[in-house]
Amino acid sequence: MNDRPVPSVLVIVPTYDEAENIHEIVDRVLSTVPEAHLLVVDDGSPDGTGDMVEALAQDDERVHLLRRSGKLGLGTAYVAGFRWGLERDFDLLVEMDADGSHPADRLPALIAAVADADPSDDVMLAIGSRWTAGGSVVDWPRHREFLSRGGNAYARVMLGLDVHDVTAGFRVYRADAIARMDLDSIDSKGYCFQVDMTLRVHDLGGVVVEVPIRFRDRLRGESKMSQAIVVEAMLRVTQWGVQRRLGRRRTTTR
CB 167 within 8 A of CB 194: yes
Residue 120, Ramachandran bin (φ over 0: left; ψ between -120 and 50: alpha; else beta): alpha
**What are the per-10-residue average pLDDT scores of the chain (254 residues)?**
79 96 97 98 96 98 96 93 98 96 96 95 97 93 88 91 95 98 87 92 96 84 60 83 80 69
Angle, CA of 80, 153 and 252, to the nearest 5°: 35
Instruction: Return the CATH architecture of domain 9-245.
Output: Alpha-Beta Complex (3.90)
pLDDT at 13: 98
End-to-end CA distance of the chain: 35
Q: Where are the domains of the chain?
A: 9-245
- Res 147: pLDDT: 86
Give residue 131's pLDDT: 95
